[in-house]
């Protein structure tokens, strides 16, 4: 059994990774400053893990948290494109300097492997679909640039220092515990929360834009697969998604079907800088990590709706 650190483990995705690791019998430590994460995300299993409340921007804190660990799942970040546009400097500190702090601490303390949460946003708005890892990165926001640079650091630390690193490019992830209440919230928790409250939902533009929406359990599977993958997968980047895209209009139709409620649809202006379509090729993750998305979009929506509606 491995000793695992999950940075950002009190957040949406990190808490699901921590929960699965515990269930599989691993030892889990979380490093989180609780800026967007919450203790309630750990309800039911907090007693079984060690929670270090601290900031990845502080190298000493990161060194203490990584000490004695075998694998680090680096999820901590300011995970919002608009936030990064408003404040590139502050998000750079967390998303890039914080990532470098994690890598340096792992290199110096002989951590075996680092699995990094990257993002589909690194592809930008090129129209080629599906996205393949071999395509050029084209970051269109500070957030995307910070993830692109983070991945590049991951690759470099593997090449220069032999640290085992794997970067996972998450496409729009959804599921229980995702925050529905912030102005930066992702579309699925936002729409479900509005539907449950009987409040209107706003589609930016015509609603025909599409995303490769991916249920969080699939991402957890990908992280565990990345932990176990052969060393030949290290220094590489992998798309993590379902490999199927759905439009927002289809999403709302599905939510209406699942909930038995009528959505109050409003259309607003298209969001500035919005990508029109996003779809992943997941062949590389399948071949090198043995990753297969087990939970479909529809099943994930049912589970997520149930979580927010009860
Ligand atoms: P989240 O906001 O729920 O989780 C991020 C966690 O990091 C939070 O618990 C937060 O408190 C913590 N954190 C932030 N700054 C910190 C700091 N300076 N020091 C310590 N902890 C800090 O977001 P999420 O959706 O769970 O995202 C997890 C990771 O996945 C992020 O790296 C994000 O960029 C990436 N990602 C998410 C998606 C998605 O669709 N949700 C898509 C692509 C990539
Ligand atoms: C983007 C990135 C993703 C990143 C995430 C972090 C791409 C392809 N994806 O996701 O990698 O992790 O930001 O913030 O670059 N929408 C509405 N009404 C709403 C809210 C959203 O219509 O109330 C629309 C948006 O305009 C967009 C779609 O829903 O077209 C999805 O939006 P969102 O959930 O914010 O994620 P992305 O911007 O796709």
pLDDT at position 183 is: 84
**5, 6, 7, 8: residue to mutate for ligand 1 pocket, most atoms within 8 A of CB:** 8
Name the average pLDDT for the chain: 97
Q: Which of the four pLDDT bands, split at 50, 70 and 90, describes residue 274?
A: confident
pLDDT digits (tens, 9 = 90+) for 48-100: 999 999 999 999 999 999 999 999 999 999 999 999 999 999 999 999 999 99
pLDDT digits (tens, 9 = 90+) for 174-186: 999 999 998 889 9
Distance from C-alpha of 256 to C-alpha of 263, rounded to nearest angstrom = 6
The rounded Å distance from CA 20 to ligand 1 centre is 17
Catalytic residue among 123, 143, 153, 305: 143
The rounded Å distance from CA 87 to ligand 1 centre is 16
Residue with tokens 């479909």: 296
pTM above 0.85, yes or no: yes
Residue with tokens 């589609």: 203
Q: Which of the four pLDDT bands, split at 50, 70 and 90, describes residue 273?
A: confident
Q: Which of the four pLDDT bands, split at 50, 70 and 90, describes residue 241?
A: very high
| Mean pLDDT, residues 127-146 | 96
pLDDT at position 24 is: 98
**64, 77, 214: residue to mutate for ligand 1 pocket, most atoms within 8 A of CB:** 77
pLDDT at position 184 is: 87
Ligand 1 atom with the shortest distance to the CA of 121: 43
pLDDT of residue 269 exceeding 90, the answer is: yes
Whether ligand 1 lies within 6 angstroms of the CB of 300 is answered as no
Q: Which of the four pLDDT bands, split at 50, 70 and 90, describes residue 272?
A: confident
The rounded Å distance from CA 209 to ligand 2 centre is 10
pLDDT of residue 310 exceeding 90, the answer is: no
Whether ligand 1 lies within 6 angstroms of the CB of 130 is answered as no
Ligand 2 atom with the shortest distance to the CA of 188: 34
Given this structure, which CATH class describes domain 3-173+216-243+281-294?
A: alpha beta
Whether ligand 1 lies within 6 angstroms of the CB of 8 is answered as yes
Whether ligand 1 lies within 6 angstroms of the CB of 210 is answered as no
Ligand 2 atom with the shortest distance to the CA of 203: 22
Enumerate the domain spans of the chain: 3-173+216-243+281-294
The rounded Å distance from CA 106 to ligand 2 centre is 32
| Mean pLDDT, residues 118-147 | 96
Active site residue 291: no
pLDDT at position 133 is: 98
């Amino acid at each position: 059994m491995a000793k695992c650190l999950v940075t950002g483990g009190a957040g949406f995705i990190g808490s699901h990774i921590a929960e699965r690791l515990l269930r599989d019998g691993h030892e889990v430590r979380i490093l989180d400053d609780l800026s967007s994460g919450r203790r309630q995300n750990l309800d039911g299993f907090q007693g079984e893990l060690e929670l270090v409340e601290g900031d990845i921007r502080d190298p000493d804190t990161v060194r203490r948290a990584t000490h004695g660990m075998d694998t680090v799942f680096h999820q901590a970040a300011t995970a919002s494109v608009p936030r990064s546009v408003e404040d590139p400097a502050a998000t750079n500190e967390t998303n890039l300097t914080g990532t470098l702090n994690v890598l340096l601490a792992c290199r110096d303390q002989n951590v075996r492997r680092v699995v990094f949460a990257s993002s589909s946003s690194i592809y930008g708005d090129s129209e080629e679909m599906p996205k393949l890892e071999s395509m050029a990165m084209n970051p269109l926001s500070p957030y995307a640039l910070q993830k692109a640079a983070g991945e590049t650091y991951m690759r470099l630390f593997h090449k220069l220092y032999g640290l085992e690193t794997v970067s996972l490019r998450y496409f729009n992830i959804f599921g229980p515990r995702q925050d529905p209440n912030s102005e930066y919230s992702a579309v699925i928790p936002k729409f479900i929360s509005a539907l449950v409250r009987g409040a209107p939902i706003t589609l930016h533009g015509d609603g025909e834009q599409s995303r490769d929406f991916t249920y969080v359990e699939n991402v957890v599977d990908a992280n565990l697969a990345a932990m176990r993958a052969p060393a030949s997968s290290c220094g590489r980047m992998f798309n993590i998604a379902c490999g199927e895209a759905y439009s927002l209009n289809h999403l709302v139709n599905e939510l209406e079907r699942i909930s038995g409620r009528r959505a109050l649809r409003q259309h607003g202006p298209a969001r500035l800088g919005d990508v029109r379509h996003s779809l992943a090729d997941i062949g590389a993750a399948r071949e090198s990590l043995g990753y297969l998305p087990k939970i479909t979009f529809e099943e994930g929506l049912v589970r997520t709706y149930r979580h927010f509606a009860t």
